[in-house]
């Protein structure tokens, strides 16, 4: 680069190097420090470029022509080959443009001797707007020139140099910059990342309440903004991390990203596109694990810069959100990446209209992310080759159970959701989730509470890994397998090391590995027998120094249960020695074996002196969150009791009847007892039918009689929205006789109380929505009397 423009730029490079003002590239690194914005490090450089362009565009016309002359070819004669005017009195490195006087148009070029006017003659009749556009390219050329000299990565340096030459050429020809070659034109993938993430929110969270659904949408928006302003790792770094010799595909995407997304952030002469709108799943697969780790670490380090109300959301819910997204990114059968992905209208319309919120910010760059993180308006790592990341996302509902059914499964006496949400606000302490320094755990905390919190913060990870004889070995997976072999050998000294090694590295066996700080600290080795419907647990261990009150063993087993439920295997079998029986009992294992002996005999390994134990999994239970759910339920009930007590707090006079010789009084006669919510004991009421088949037949006959009643016609089927548009806004828990029939067929009514509760809800819903003198309420009154008569007649309630 020995042309006049390059020589003219040398003093600026020296000035930048001496003052330290130049960035380490066209924009700063995504994981770099020294920027006030936690996730948009390119912002400061972007601002500097904008300020510089405004400064240059404010120059007088003569000064502008001088600056453009440096990049303009001489037109004095056809034989002159000078491609840029060179100042005969070059400025020193310490002087800046504002302090320099404009050169005269008659000033000769130090290179060819022709006047400055001969270099800028083509600009005489050019509009001021076009001059300013060309000056913007000049500033970008200067920035790219410094980037080329300061960048150390070869691949990145080559791209910077190509864009430098492209803008030089466009200034000479007064044309628009167009990236040419084999890179192609945006968009490069469909559906793009933004659409895939929005599909993910609809796919996973459309069943949530509007407020919770909006929170998930805001998290997705925050992730997309982060991705648009995050600097990707270089192809060299990618090869080192993934241990892949061939990184051609990633290098192509990286080059496209530099040319179309990253460099244009601070060099707006180039056309700019949002990363999330021109790239899709392939790039996301390449960068997600490392970007997620860097992003969460940056949030943890800079958590004090976040507003308190956002800190809890970002440090607790965002990691969980990313874990769920990770499974959809790397899952083979995820529907969110299908071109024709759709959700039922009743679900998708609830959040689909918000898509426009995630619009690309301008190249000039308002601090969108800072607003996203700190505004109070809307928000209340490893490779996968041979690895299956374990996340705690909600499982799909059984096919026979629709979302509407799930919403309807309530029993009489449910607490209104508004009251539950209000109570939840009083029991949720944001300070309790901000970091390990906080004393989170109560004396009665669940065994796996610590492990669950550490997983949410990204301190520990769970991965199902295994050896493969058909695919190229991944170095990281092999290192983890060696770590597992060491843990099992150390914690299970009775087992021969050769035997442990053989099973851990056997391709038929898999291991759920517990990873902390990049090393293995525990795991469960197992072998699945899908055709037999069970899995054998072979080894289970956690390093001794990590066992104390951490709950890793419980959380490991809960993740294993979730993993098997997703793979439709609902039975565990294992041989436990006398030291392990206690642990397995706590995890739901029993010595009572329900799996027929013929299904496992000859399949599992028999251990002398060990006890065979079994665990049956319930596909409806979210095991990794179960203890947390129960804890929350207890807290809600406790608060509701306290609320009830405060509402009815009244001091009654003491009982004097006993002084008068009365030996016994009915409990219900005690003043104030009923106001506390006390109800008579159910011992005197109809006894519960224990035989499920007998109960099923009784309820079936009773329901058939109710459906044939003349006044049952309004309640035969679900209310249609076309007939009552606001019905489902008023009635939170709808129910009808058709739905009850389906629930009865699915054996939902395991007790008579559930059946009676749904019958009563039909009546109460009718009275809540319709006027008392309406025909519907009259039918409800008549039907209520009828079915209570039948309940008494059938012995289901007391007469």
Q: Is position 24 within any domain? A: no
Is residue 553 a known part of a binding site?
Answer: yes
For the stretch 91-117, pLDDT in tens is 554 444 444 555 666 677 877 877 777
The DSSP result for 69-131, as a single string, is: HTTS---S-TT----S---SSPPPTT--GGGSPPPPTTPBPTTT--BHHHHSGGGTT--HHHH
| pLDDT given for residue 572 in this prediction | 95
Is residue 588 a known part of a binding site?
Answer: no
| pLDDT given for residue 653 in this prediction | 74
| pLDDT given for residue 661 in this prediction | 62
| Residue finishing a domain among 278, 302, 330 | 330
| pLDDT given for residue 260 in this prediction | 92
Residue 363: partners with Cβ closer than 8 Å, 6 or more residues away? 46, 264, 265, 268, 272
| Residue finishing a domain among 173, 205, 223 | 173
Task: Check whether residue 451 and residue 554 sit in a common domain.
Answer: yes
Task: Check whether residue 154 and residue 249 sit in a common domain.
Answer: no
| pLDDT given for residue 383 in this prediction | 37
Say which residue, 694 or 415, is predicted with more confidence.
Answer: 694
* Selection from 64-68, 599-603, 648-652 with the highest mean pLDDT: 599-603
Q: Is position 581 within any domain? A: yes
| pLDDT given for residue 548 in this prediction | 65
Q: Is position 38 within any domain? A: no
Check pLDDT > 70 for residue 603.
yes
Check pLDDT > 50 for residue 292.
yes
| Residue finishing a domain among 272, 300, 330 | 330
Is residue 581 a known part of a binding site?
Answer: yes
Weakest-pLDDT range from 138-147, 615-624, 668-677: 668-677
Task: Check whether residue 153 and residue 211 sit in a common domain.
Answer: no
For the stretch 179-228, pLDDT in tens is 888 888 888 998 999 999 998 988 888 877 788 888 888 889 989 998 98
Q: Is position 399 within any domain? A: no
Which of 290, 360, 350, 292 has the alpha carbon at shortest distance from 325? 292
Task: Check whether residue 591 and residue 449 sit in a common domain.
Answer: yes
Task: Check whether residue 76 and residue 154 sit in a common domain.
Answer: yes
| pLDDT given for residue 474 in this prediction | 79
Tokens of 44: 């400061």
Weakest-pLDDT range from 463-477, 652-666, 754-768: 652-666
Handedness of CA 156, 157, 158, 159 (dihedral sign): positive
Task: Check whether residue 466 and residue 575 sit in a common domain.
Answer: yes
Q: How confident is the model at residue 403 (pLDDT cuts 50, 70, 90)?
A: very low
Q: Each residue of 152-180: b (16+ CB within 10 Å) or e? A: eeeebbebbbbbbebbbebbbeeeebebe
CB atoms inside a 10 Å sphere around CB 532:
18
Is residue 540 a known part of a binding site?
Answer: yes
Report the distance separating Cα 768 and Cα 766, nearest Å.
Answer: 5
| pLDDT given for residue 171 in this prediction | 82
Is residue 22 a known part of a binding site?
Answer: no
Is residue 551 a known part of a binding site?
Answer: yes
Is residue 633 a known part of a binding site?
Answer: no
Residue 736: partners with Cβ closer than 8 Å, 6 or more residues away? 715, 716, 717, 718, 719, 762
pLDDT average, residue stretch 714-736: 90
Find the distance separating the first CA and the last CA of the chain, reported in whole Å.
102
Is residue 73 a known part of a binding site?
Answer: no
Q: How confident is the model at residue 640 (pLDDT cuts 50, 70, 90)?
A: confident
Task: Check whether residue 154 and residue 233 sit in a common domain.
Answer: no
Weakest-pLDDT range from 76-80, 121-125, 411-415: 411-415
Report the distance separating Cα 352 and Cα 205, nearest Å.
Answer: 12
Catalytic residue among 454, 536, 614, 784: 536
Residue 41: partners with Cβ closer than 8 Å, 6 or more residues away? 27, 28, 29, 30, 32, 35, 229, 231
Weakest-pLDDT range from 102-106, 172-176, 413-417, 539-543: 413-417
Check pLDDT > 80 for residue 84.
no
| pLDDT given for residue 369 in this prediction | 46
| pLDDT given for residue 682 in this prediction | 55
Task: Check whether residue 531 and residue 563 sit in a common domain.
Answer: yes
Is residue 547 a known part of a binding site?
Answer: yes
Task: Check whether residue 211 and residue 157 sit in a common domain.
Answer: no
Domain count for the chain: 4
Is residue 552 a known part of a binding site?
Answer: yes
pLDDT average, residue stretch 472-488: 89
Weakest-pLDDT range from 312-316, 527-531, 563-567, 597-601: 312-316
The DSSP result for 396-423, as a single string, is: PPPTTS-HHHHHH---TTPPPHHHHHHH
Domain with 317, as residue range(s), is: 193-330
pLDDT average, residue stretch 554-566: 92
Task: Check whether residue 58 and residue 158 sit in a common domain.
Answer: yes
Q: Is position 774 within any domain? A: yes
Q: How confident is the model at residue 617 (pLDDT cuts 50, 70, 90)?
A: very high
Q: How confident is the model at residue 387 (pLDDT cuts 50, 70, 90)?
A: low
Q: How confident is the model at residue 687 (pLDDT cuts 50, 70, 90)?
A: low
Is residue 542 a known part of a binding site?
Answer: yes
Distances from the Cα of 122 to the Cα of 87, 106, 540, 657, angstroms? 19, 15, 79, 114
Task: Check whether residue 161 and residue 202 sit in a common domain.
Answer: no
| pLDDT given for residue 452 in this prediction | 82
Tokens of 430: 């944001």
Handedness of CA 333, 335, 340, 346 (dihedral sign): positive
User: CB-hemisphere CA count at 13 Å for 692?
Assistant: 7
Radius of gyration of the chain (CA): 35
* CATH code: domain of residue 780: 1.20.920.10
pLDDT average, residue stretch 472-479: 84
Mean pLDDT across the chain: 77
pLDDT average, residue stretch 308-323: 80
Say which residue, 770 or 74, is predicted with more confidence.
Answer: 770
Q: Is position 648 within any domain? A: no
pTM above 0.85, yes or no: no
| pLDDT given for residue 206 in this prediction | 81
Q: How confident is the model at residue 13 (pLDDT cuts 50, 70, 90)?
A: very low
Is residue 365 a known part of a binding site?
Answer: no
Tokens of 776: 């519907």
Weakest-pLDDT range from 270-274, 629-633, 700-704: 629-633
For the stretch 21-40, pLDDT in tens is 333 344 433 444 334 444 44
Residue 712: partners with Cβ closer than 8 Å, 6 or more residues away? 706, 737, 779, 783
Active-site residue flag, 454: no
pLDDT above 90 covers a percentage of the chain that reads 21
Placement of tokens 């020294």 in the chain: 34
Weakest-pLDDT range from 200-209, 258-267, 302-311, 653-662: 653-662
| pLDDT given for residue 527 in this prediction | 94
Report the distance separating Cα 689 and Cα 681, nearest Å.
Answer: 17
Task: Check whether residue 699 and residue 580 sit in a common domain.
Answer: no
Q: Is position 309 within any domain? A: yes
* CATH code: domain of residue 601: 3.40.630.30
Report the distance separating Cα 122 and Cα 68, nearest Å.
Answer: 11
Which of 465, 525, 529, 528 has the alpha carbon at shortest distance from 495? 525
Polymer length of the chain: 799
């Amino acid at each position: 680069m020995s042309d006049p423009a390059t020589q003219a730029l040398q003093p600026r490079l020296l000035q930048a190097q001496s003052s330290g003002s130049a960035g380490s590239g066209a924009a700063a690194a995504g994981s770099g420090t020294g920027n006030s914005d936690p996730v948009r490090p390119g912002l400061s450089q972007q601002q500097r470029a904008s300020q510089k362009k405004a400064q240059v565009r404010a120059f007088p016309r003569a000064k502008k022509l001088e600056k453009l002359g440096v990049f303009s070819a001489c037109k004095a004669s056809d034989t002159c080959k000078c491609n840029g005017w060179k100042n005969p009195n070059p400025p020193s490195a310490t002087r800046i443009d504002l302090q320099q006087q404009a050169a005269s148009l008659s000033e000769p070029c130090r290179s060819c001797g022709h006047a400055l006017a001969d270099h800028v003659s083509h600009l005489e009749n050019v509009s001021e707007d076009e001059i300013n556009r060309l000056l913007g390219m000049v500033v970008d050329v200067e920035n790219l020139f410094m980037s080329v000299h300061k960048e150390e990565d070869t691949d990145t340096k080559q791209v910077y140099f190509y864009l430098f030459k492209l803008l030089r050429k466009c200034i000479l020809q007064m044309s628009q910059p167009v990236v040419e070659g084999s890179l192609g034109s945006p968009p490069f993938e469909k559906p793009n990342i933004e659409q895939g993430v929005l599909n993910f929110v609809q796919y996973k969270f459309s069943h949530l309440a509007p407020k919770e659904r909006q929170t998930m949408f805001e998290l997705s928006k925050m992730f997309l903004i982060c991705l648009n302003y995050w600097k990707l790792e270089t192809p060299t770094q990618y090869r080192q991390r993934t241990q892949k010799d061939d990184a051609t595909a990633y290098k192509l995407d990286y080059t496209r990203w530099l040319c179309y997304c990253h460099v244009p952030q601070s060099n707006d002469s180039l056309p700019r596109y949002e990363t999330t709108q021109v790239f899709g799943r392939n790039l996301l697969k390449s960068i997600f694990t490392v970007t997620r780790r860097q992003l969460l670490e940056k949030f943890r380090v800079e958590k004090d810069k976040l507003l308190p109300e956002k800190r809890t959301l970002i440090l607790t819910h965002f990691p969980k959100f990313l874990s769920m997204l990770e499974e959809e990114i790397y899952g083979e059968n995820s529907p969110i990446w299908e071109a024709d992905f759709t959700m039922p209208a009743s679900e998708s319309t609830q959040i689909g209209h918000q898509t426009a919120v995630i619009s690309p910010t301008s190249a000039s760059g308002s601090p969108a992310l800072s607003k996203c993180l700190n505004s109070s308006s809307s928000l209340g790592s490893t490779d996968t080759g041979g690895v299956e990341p374990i996340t705690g996302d909600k499982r799909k509902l059984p096919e026979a159970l629709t979302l509407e059914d799930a919403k309807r499964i309530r029993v009489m006496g449910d607490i209104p959701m508004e009251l539950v949400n209000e109570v939840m606000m009083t029991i949720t302490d944001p300070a309790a989730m901000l970091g390990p320094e906080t004393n989170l755990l109560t004396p009665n905390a669940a065994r796996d509470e610590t492990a669950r919190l550490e997983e949410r913060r990204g301190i520990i990870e769970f991965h199902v890994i295994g050896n493969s004889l058909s695919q190229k070995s991944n170095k990281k997976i092999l290192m983890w397998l060696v770590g597992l072999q060491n843990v099992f050998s150390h914690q299970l000294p009775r087992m021969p090391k050769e035997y442990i090694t053989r099973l851990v590295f056997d391709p038929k066996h898999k291991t759920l590995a517990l990873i902390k700080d990049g090393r293995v600290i525990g795991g469960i080795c197992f072998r699945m027998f899908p055709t037999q419907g069970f899995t054998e647990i072979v080894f289970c261990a956690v390093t001794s120094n990590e066992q104390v009150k951490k709950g890793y063993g419980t959380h490991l087993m809960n993740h294993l249960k979730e993993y098997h439920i997703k793979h439709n295997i609902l039975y565990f079998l294992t041989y436990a020695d006398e030291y392990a029986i206690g642990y397995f009992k706590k995890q739901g294992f029993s010595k009572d074996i329900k799996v027929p002996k013929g299904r496992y005999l000859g399949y599992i390994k028999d251990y002398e002196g060990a006890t065979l134990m079994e665990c049956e999994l319930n596909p409806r239970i979210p095991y990794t969150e179960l203890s947390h759910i129960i804890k929350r339920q207890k807290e809600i009930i406790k608060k509701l009791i306290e609320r009830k007590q405060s509402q009815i707090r009244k001091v009654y006079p003491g009982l004097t009847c006993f002084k008068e010789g009365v030996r016994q009084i009915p409990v219900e006669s005690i003043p104030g007892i009923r106001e506390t919510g006390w109800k008579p004991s159910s011992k005197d009421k109809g006894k519960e039918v224990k035989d499920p088949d007998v109960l099923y037949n009784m309820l079936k006959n009773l329901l058939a009689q109710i459906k044939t009643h003349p006044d049952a016609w309004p309640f035969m089927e679900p209310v249609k929205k076309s007939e009552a548009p606001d019905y489902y806004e008023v009635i939170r828990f709808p129910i009808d006789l058709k739905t009850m029939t389906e629930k009865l067929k699915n054996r939902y009514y395991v007790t008579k109380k559930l059946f009676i509760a749904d019958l009563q809800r039909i009546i109460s819903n009718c009275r809540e929505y319709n006027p008392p003198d309406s025909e519907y309420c009259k039918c409800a009154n008549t039907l209520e009397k009828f079915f209570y008569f039948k309940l008494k007649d059938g012995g289901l309630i007391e007469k």
